[in-house]
Structure 1
Amino acid sequence: MFQIETSKIKPNPYQPRREYNEEELNELAQSIREYGIIQPLIVSRVETESEKGTDVEYQLISGERRLRAAKRAGLPRVPAVVRREPPNRDKLSLALIENLQRSDLNPVEAARGYARLQDEFQITQREIASKTGRSRAAIANALRLLNLPSHMQKAIETSRLNESQGRALLKETNLHLQEQLFQAFLEGRKTLRAPKEPHETKRHETFWEREIENRLGAPVSITREAGGKGKITVRFFSEEEWEALRSRLTGGAEAHS
């Protein structure tokens, strides 16, 4: 372990976290002033050639909050473990795993991290689930939040909306009604309008919607109609999600023409 100057540590460009609670950072900074940094940062050594010779800097792999708080506390150096320069794929995985182990990582930040793993490094949802210790259905549900308009994503990031409300907004395909439901959630109302169906019936349907969603790993809505009729709608948002859904529905059997 080494003591490294804070000015020489560059932030990790693959860090999924964007929002930091100012009050919590100040509290951590005060704790660092009193007790120091208990858990060292993890960095990689970066060497660049210049006219004066070889310049040495360090890129952060994990410990963003500790580094920010240490700077606020006025620490000129921080304890750090120097690792061999990992490929970008591993840097992102390490940053994601560290943050996913924290309870305060919000769902949209996690979803953006998963999306980067998919888009920039061609890692499948199944592989992401394996790397992060979550179910594939949880990864798929998180990624769907990125289909919400940016202001709704921001509301989830800032904890004005929760993940369940975000999934409820995704089920509303009418954009005008979706916006109305969004405003209702912000105002503390649970629904856009009073349900026409008896309470017990609606609660029963909600239970089965969640049960089917958990089994299929996809958003499900149940609509009841007069005369005992109704329909079940299952949504998917990518070819990969369709393949996973089809596999679950058919038990992995291939369709034959």
Structure 2
Amino acid sequence: MASPYQSDSIFWVEVDRIKPNPFQPRKVFDEMALASLAESIRQYGVLQPLTVTRKEIERPEQGIFVEYELIAGERRLRAAKLAGIAAVPVVIRNGEDDDRMKLEIAIIENLQREDLNPIDRAIAFSRLANEFGLKHAEIGKRVGKSREYVSNTLRILQLPQEMRDALAAGDINEGHTRPLLMLIDRPDEQKTLFTEIVTRKLTVRDSEQVARRIATDKVRKTDLTPELLLLERELTEKLGTRVRIEKKEQGGKVLIDFFSVDDLAHIRSMLAHTQVAHPVPSMKAVAEGDALVAGETPSAAPEEPIKIPEQQKEDDDLYSIKNFSV
């Protein structure tokens, strides 16, 4: 079988003659990581050759012009330019590679190095599916992953742009996308969960528990009266965390979510503040004239003497000891 590489040899090509891969799936390059790689290249050079294709282009009055198109190694190429390297080692693939093959090779290289963030990977899979008509199982076979892996990765693209940007930036991780996707048909709750993940640094497990509870709320809320729903919402806003009221045949219970000791301390302080602002009336009260002592409840009105009916009084006198003699 013929090798896909030209002469199986390594060539040195000027960096300015290498065009970027138009099918490069990776869109985000860490500047600090590139600077670190550039420093390494200054000291040791480019240790692994780049993969390119070679094209001969005839230009009027200039003869044959050769240009190279990068397939794999854009990070090394960028770092080499930063390091001021004039030429880099390359292996040249035969020019008959089609666009799909260029995209596949770029994806596979990045996956092997784990360089692609989840969004770039999802976009690359989407291109293979939409532009080249590959099924999820075929994509998985080409990149060494399962069909389920490909399908779940593509679902990430259903998230709102804000959440996709946070995932690409590393503010949330790929595991957080599962609970967010559970609420894909409930955008308000999905947005609330996303905010809590970012601000409270929720773990994936905590996020999934919250998402499951929210997903079942629609059924649960049919058991609550409008007054209880209003109270639940007011408590949620007041305490700054999720509050749920569960009604039973007799009474019920109030469930308050917290995700750290700091959360619990905050909830306790809010409840204490509410108690100070609206104290529970004391059983004892002190009154000074018509004015009330602060923090006390009005004292009970002086008890009036109980009037005994005349007939009852006569009956009582009948059995009084003064009417008996020894």
User: Normalised by the size of structure 2, how large is the TM-score?
Assistant: 0.59
- Of 165, 184, 193, the match for 2:196: 184
1:101 aligned counterpart, secondary structure: helix
Code of the residue aligned with 2:54 in structure 1: it is R
Q: 1:160 to 1:50 in 2, by over 3 A?
A: same
What is the aligned partner in structure 2 of residue 76 from structure 1? 86
Q: Indicate if the aligned counterparts of 2:182 and 2:215 stay in contact, CA closer than 8 A.
A: no
Mapping of residues 106-255 of structure 1, within 5 Å = 106-172=117-183, 173-190=185-202, 223=216
- CA offsets 1:219-257 (integer angstroms, 9 cap, x no match): xx984977xxxxxxxxxxxxxxxxxxxxxxxxxxxxxxx
The structure 2 residue matched to 1:60, chosen from 64, 70, 77, is: 70
Tell me the distance in 2 between the aligned counterparts of 1:67 and 1:108: 23
Compute the RMSD of aligned alpha carbons: 2.3
Cα offset, 1:21, TM superposition: 0.8
Aligned counterparts of 2:114 and 2:128: Cα–Cα separation in 1: 21
Specify the alignment match of 1:5 in structure 2. 14
| Distance (Å, rounded) in 2 between the aligned partners of 1:92 and 1:153 | 22
* AA partner of residue 164 (structure 1): G
1:33 aligns with 2:42: yes
**Displacement of 1:48:** 1.9
| Higher Cα Rg, which structure | 2
Equivalent residue for 1:23?
32
- The separation in 2 between residues aligned to 1:88 and 1:174, in whole angstroms, is 39
TM (normalized to structure 1)? 0.74
Structure with more relative contact order (C-alpha pairs < 8 Å, separation 6 or more):
1
Deviations 1:80-106 (A, max 9, x none): 011101111110110000001122421
* Fraction of identical pairs, as percent: 44
Q: Name the counterpart of 2:274.
A: none
* 2:153 maps to amino acid: A
SS in 2 for 1:60: strand
Aligned length: 203
Q: Give the C-alpha shift of residue 53 in structure 1.
A: 1.7
- Partners of 2:200 and 2:156 in 1: how far apart? 20
- Segments of structure 1 that go 5 or more residues without pairing to the other structure are 196-201, 207-220, 227-257
Partner deviation per Cα, 1:55-76 (whole Å, 9 max, x = no partner): 1110001001100000000001
* Distance change in 2, residues 1:189/1:34 (3 Å): closer
Q: Counterpart of 1:187 in 2: which secondary structure?
A: helix
Query: Which portions of structure 1, spanning 4 or more consecutive aligned residues, are displaced by more than 2 angstroms?
Result: 188-191, 221-226
Residues 33 and 189 of structure 1: is their aligned pair in 2 closer, same or farther, counting only changes over 3 Å?
A: closer
